Structure 1
Amino acid sequence: MQARFAAVLGLALLVQGGAGPATAESHKPPLVFTGIPDQDESRLVERFGKVATALEAKLGVAVRYIPVKSYPAAVTAFTNGQVQLAWFGGFTGVQARRAVPGAQAIAQGAEDAAFKTYLIANTKTGLEPSKAFPQAVAGKTFTFGARTSTSGRLMPDYFVRQAFPGRTPEQVFSRVGFSGDHSRTIQLVQSGAFEVGAVDYSVWDLDTKAGKVDPGAVRVIWESPPFPDYQWTVRGDVEVTYGAGFTERLRQALIGLDDPAILAPFGRSKFVPVDNAAYAPLEKVGRDTGLLD
């Protein structure tokens, strides 16, 4: 049984890690990374497996992707050094960098500098698209995404409080839930389990293209103002392991990922350089909403 488990685990690592140590510097440990589980698991395996293969070829070290079950688990894996690199949402990136001195945001999607949340509604509510925040959502059932999602919790929480001064989401809506990820939010609102929800616009677009959205059952009713979101964050101690200049090499490798087969599952056109300062607005919103100590 143990031998069989080891064989299965070894196969999984080869699938997740790409080309394997034959193309990497064998004396250096693998660069291990993860990403927040913000959508359908099969899409995550597809996107991150391709990233691992591409980075391994560019960096000359073995690269491994490990999945996590939740947004907090991604932050914990980064904080305790289980992973050296992570694809975080804006807010989880802020949390991770606050916990790990020297950690840096090094690349984001070109679309992440001006990201958006969509409010979506089950069509049976009769809610129609609006340029202004739709006041008619008050009294409806509402689902956020994950509790520490930027586009699925932090920013929609903030926008609700702006639209209804002095009231929390729990006071605005008849019931508030947390779906766990954006794809799940879409399905819960589409099914009528919740009347309204907040979702990452890029996941909405990806799920729409994949035929998972029924326009007769769910629609976008509001588009938020822009805010910074997803990014690649690296630990500050990677240069001890992989040598001086490795952080910049990693940044260049990420922004050099130009294969549409890699970028499409992210819903991104390309990756561009970024730094920690770009996410200061999210840190302020986190404090203002009480979601960040």
Structure 2
Amino acid sequence: MGLFKMGLFVVLSIITSSAFAAVFTFTAIPDENESQLRTRFEKVATYLETELGVEVKYIPVKSYSAAVTAFRNNQVQLAWFGGLSGVQARRLVPGSEAIAQGDEDQFFQSYFIAHESAQIFPSDSFPNLNGLTFTFGAKGSTSGRLMPEFFIERNLGKKAKDVFKRIGFSGDHSRTIIQVQSGAYQVGAVNYKVWETAVEKGRVDLNKVSVIWRSPTYPDYQWTVREGVNDIFGKNFKQRLTEALLGMDDPALLASFPRRSFVPADNLDYEPIENVAKAVGLID
């Protein structure tokens, strides 16, 4: 082979190899507004790219169900799921694993919040919500729908549809706060982390809306990796990914979640969520 042809062959080989190099993709449930999520997870993509030595891309989705579908269809290989969406995804893709969770996610909570006009005051006892208007978050949310629905049924002895005069689904926790604060709904259920961050940043008028009940703790958010990533990205890739997530210690990056740190997780941690989802009829 002549030098020219050999050089051309090498160049074409490099171009072809680059064009078909696998890109590691991930997504996250849209539990807050899109701009906040994009800022957070594009930083995560940069971090993982440095740690793993592969191209990493964050793919935003419009709904919790879209995150699960993207995972099922192998459009993403990693996802930041809530408890329920993680259970749903792993049931659809056997062999997939929860590998890391925020330290706080081991002991997560839902807050029930109320507009001042509802005249419901903070208490350790579950409030009487009969006849009020109520908004959940997204239909697939653990902290904004699944667990609140479970606590309503357990404490009031009847289905949510039989408790409230009107029920809504805001779509995400930030909008739940906005809707209750405006009086569009008298009461709502939110992720405690989103509430506390919103209060800290001055986004909540505490003269109009306040926390009236804090739930018992339960496991929630986690990073779930799709089965087969080692076949695509190389031996021990899943282990390296796990170590990268657990080793995420940049204060600014952790604050964007917000989490103190990430700790190990496995599928068994989320059996309580699966059992509750079956009990309230959200999964078979």
User: Under a length normalisation based on structure 1, what TM-score does the superposition of the two structures give?
Assistant: 0.89
Match for 1:209 among 179, 197, 200? 200
1:253 equivalent to 2:244? Answer: yes
1:72 equivalent to 2:72? Answer: no
1:1-293 matches, within 5 Å, as 28-135=21-128, 137-165=129-157, 167-293=158-284
Q: How far apart, in 1, do the equivalents of 2:117 and 2:73 lie?
A: 46
Q: How far apart, in 2, do the equivalents of 1:209 and 1:259 lie?
A: 20
Q: Is the 8 A contact 1:109 1:231 kept in 2?
A: yes
Q: Secondary structure at the match of 1:39?
A: coil
Counterpart of 2:196 in structure 1: which amino acid? D
Q: Secondary structure at the match of 2:79?
A: strand
Counterpart of 1:83 in structure 2: which amino acid? V
**Distance apart, 1:259 and its partner CA:** 0.7
The aligned residue for residue 11 of structure 1 is: none
Q: How far apart, in 1, do the equivalents of 2:224 and 2:19 lie?
A: 24
Q: How far apart, in 1, do the equivalents of 2:236 and 2:130 lie?
A: 52
Q: How far apart, in 1, do the equivalents of 2:87 and 2:54 lie?
A: 27
**Distance apart, 1:210 and its partner CA:** 2.0
Q: Is the 8 A contact 1:26 1:61 kept in 2?
A: no
Q: Is the 8 A contact 1:121 1:221 kept in 2?
A: yes
Q: How far apart, in 2, do the equivalents of 1:85 and 1:36 lie?
A: 11
Counterpart of 2:127 in structure 1: which amino acid? P
**Distance apart, 1:28 and its partner CA:** 3.6
Q: Secondary structure at the match of 1:266?
A: coil
Counting matched residue pairs gives: 267
Counterpart of 1:186 in structure 2: which amino acid? I
Q: Is the 8 A contact 1:59 1:249 kept in 2?
A: yes
Q: What does the per-residue CA deviation read over 1:245-280, in whole Å, with 9 as the maximum and x for residues that have no partner?
A: 111110100011111111111111111110000000
Q: Is the 8 A contact 1:86 1:232 kept in 2?
A: yes
- Which of these two proteins has the greater Rg computed from alpha carbons? 2
What stretches of structure 1 of length at least 5 have no aligned partner?
Answer: 1-24
Q: How far apart, in 1, do the equivalents of 2:170 and 2:190 lie?
A: 10
**Distance apart, 1:284 and its partner CA:** 0.4
Q: What does the per-residue CA deviation read over 1:32-87, in whole Å, with 9 as the maximum and x for residues that have no partner?
A: 00000001212101110110000100000010001000000000000000000000
Counterpart of 1:279 in structure 2: which amino acid? Y
**Distance apart, 1:27 and its partner CA:** 6.6
Q: How far apart, in 2, do the equivalents of 1:90 and 1:274 lie?
A: 12
Q: What does the per-residue CA deviation read over 1:198-223, in whole Å, with 9 as the maximum and x for residues that have no partner?
A: 00000001111222111011000000
Q: How far apart, in 2, do the equivalents of 1:194 and 1:219 lie?
A: 13
Q: How far apart, in 2, do the equivalents of 1:92 and 1:67 lie?
A: 15
Q: What does the per-residue CA deviation read over 1:102-130, in whole Å, with 9 as the maximum and x for residues that have no partner?
A: 10000000000010000000011111001
Q: Is the 8 A contact 1:28 1:241 kept in 2?
A: no
Q: Is the 8 A contact 1:107 1:232 kept in 2?
A: yes
Q: CA RMSD in A?
A: 1.1
Q: What does the per-residue CA deviation read over 1:126-176, in whole Å, with 9 as the maximum and x for residues that have no partner?
A: 1100101112x21110000000100000000000000111x1001011111
Q: How far apart, in 1, do the equivalents of 2:212 and 2:258 lie?
A: 21
Q: Is the 8 A contact 1:84 1:235 kept in 2?
A: yes
Counterpart of 1:45 in structure 2: which amino acid? R
